[in-house]
C-alpha cells in the first residue's frame, strides 16, 4: 500500500508517476481525499471521546458536591454519546472507502525503471552466477523421466490439462525425498509449519493478492475462502507477531 504521507503531501507527483502503470490520476486524488476525510473523522472522534471521558469524571465530582449543574452535564454526555455513535458509523464507512481506493493503487515505480508496454522493455541490471553453457547431447528431464516410467505427462493432461505431471514410483519418492532433505537441511534456521490450503479473503488482502488478482484466483462459492497461490501466504499470518529464527 502507498505511503499515506507521500500520497497526501505529493499527490501531483504520485499521480504523474503512477500514470506509467496506467493508473487514472482521478483514482489517486480520490484516494487522497478519502484518506484526508478519514483522518478528519478520526480527529473528531478522538476529541469527542476525550471530552466524554472528562465529562464522566466531572459528573462524579458534581454528584458528590450536590451541584445544580449535574443535569446539564448529564444532558451533554447524552449528546456526546449520540454524536460519537454517529461519527463511528461515518468513520467505518470512510475507512472502507479509503481502503477500497488504496488497495487498487500500486506502489510508485522507481524513477530509473523503464516505461514500456511489456516485459521486452525491461532492462537487465546485472547477471549473477556463471553464464549458462549448453551441454552437447543433453536431453530435457521430461523425456528422460518418461523413458524411466517415473513421469507421465499424458495421464496428467487427461486429469488436469497441459502443464501438469503425474509422478510415479521412484519419481514420486524422489520428490518426497527432496522435500524431506530440504526440510532436514534447514531445520535449525526455520520453523516447519503445516498450514491450511484455504485462507480467508482478509489474508489475501494482507499479502497483496486481493483485489489485484481476484479474477485469476480460485475461491469457494459459499464461503469466504481462497485457495492459496503460493506457500508463503498462510505463514505470513500464522507467524505474525512471532520472532522468527534465522
Predicted confidence (pLDDT) per residue in 32-62, tens digit:
999 999 999 999 999 999 999 998 888 888 8
Q: How many CB atoms lie within 10 A of CB 18?
A: 20
Indicate the average pLDDT of the chain.
88
**pLDDT at 238 exceeding the cut of 80:** no
Parse the chain into domains and list their residue ranges.
Answer: 4-102, 140-185, 189-246
Cβ atoms of 74 and 59 within 8 Å: the answer is: yes
The model's confidence at residue 210, banded by pLDDT at 50, 70 and 90, is confident
Q: How far apart are CA 243 and CA 192, in angstroms?
A: 14
DSSP state of 219: B
Cell of 191: 520453523
- Cross-strand bridge partners of residue 226: 199, 219
- The widest CA-to-CA distance across the chain, in whole angstroms, is 101
- Whole-number percent of the chain with pLDDT over 90: 51
The answer to which of 123-127, 209-213, 225-229 has the lowest mean pLDDT is 209-213
Which pLDDT does position 185 carry in this prediction? 94
Q: Which CATH architecture has domain 4-102?
A: Orthogonal Bundle (1.10)
- Per-residue pLDDT tens for 87-137? 999 999 999 999 999 988 988 988 888 888 788 888 888 889 988 888 999
- H helices of the chain, in order, are 4-9, 11-18, 25-64, 70-102, 141-148, 153-160, 170-185, 201-206, 233-238
**In sequence order, what are the residues at sequence separation of 6 or more whose Cβ sits closer than 8 angstroms to the Cβ of residue 111?**
17
Amino acid at each position: 500500500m502507498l505511503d499515506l504521507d507521500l500520497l497526501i503531501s505529493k499527490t501531483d507527483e504520485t499521480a504523474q508517476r503512477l500514470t506509467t502503470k496506467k493508473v487514472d490520476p482521478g483514482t489517486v486524488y480520490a484516494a487522497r481525499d478519502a484518506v484526508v476525510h478519514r483522518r478528519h473523522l478520526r480527529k473528531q472522534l478522538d476529541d469527542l471521546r476525550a471530552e466524554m471521558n472528562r465529562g464522566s469524571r466531572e459528573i462524579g465530582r458534581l454528584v458528590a458536591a450536590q451541584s445544580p449543574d449535574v443535569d446539564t452535564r448529564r444532558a451533554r454526555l447524552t449528546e456526546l454519546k449520540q454524536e460519537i455513535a454517529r461519527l463511528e458509523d461515518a468513520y467505518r464507512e470512510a475507512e472502507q472507502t479509503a481502503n477500497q481506493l488504496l488497495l487498487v493503487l500500486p506502489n510508485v515505480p522507481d524513477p530509473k525503471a523503464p516505461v514500456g508496454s511489456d516485459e521486452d522493455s525491461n532492462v537487465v541490471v546485472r547477471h549473477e552466477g556463471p553464464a549458462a553453457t549448453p551441454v552437447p547431447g543433453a536431453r530435457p528431464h521430461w523425456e528422460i523421466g518418461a523413458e524411466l516410467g517415473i513421469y507421465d505427462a499424458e495421464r496428467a493432461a487427461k486429469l488436469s490439462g497441459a502443464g501438469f505431471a503425474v509422478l510415479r514410483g521412484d519419481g514420486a519418492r524422489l520428490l518426497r525425498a527432496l522435500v524431506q532433505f530440504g526440510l532436514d537441511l534447514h531445520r535449525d534456521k526455520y520453523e516447519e509449519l503445516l498450514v491450511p490450503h484455504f485462507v480467508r479473503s482478509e489474508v489475501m488482502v494482507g499479502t497483496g493478492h486481493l483485489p489485484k488478482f481476484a479474477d485469476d484466483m480460485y475461491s469457494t462459492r459459499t464461503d469466504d475462502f481462497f485457495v492459496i497461490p503460493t506457500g508463503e501466504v498462510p505463514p505470513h499470518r500464522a507467524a505474525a507477531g512471532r520472532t522468527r529464527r534465522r
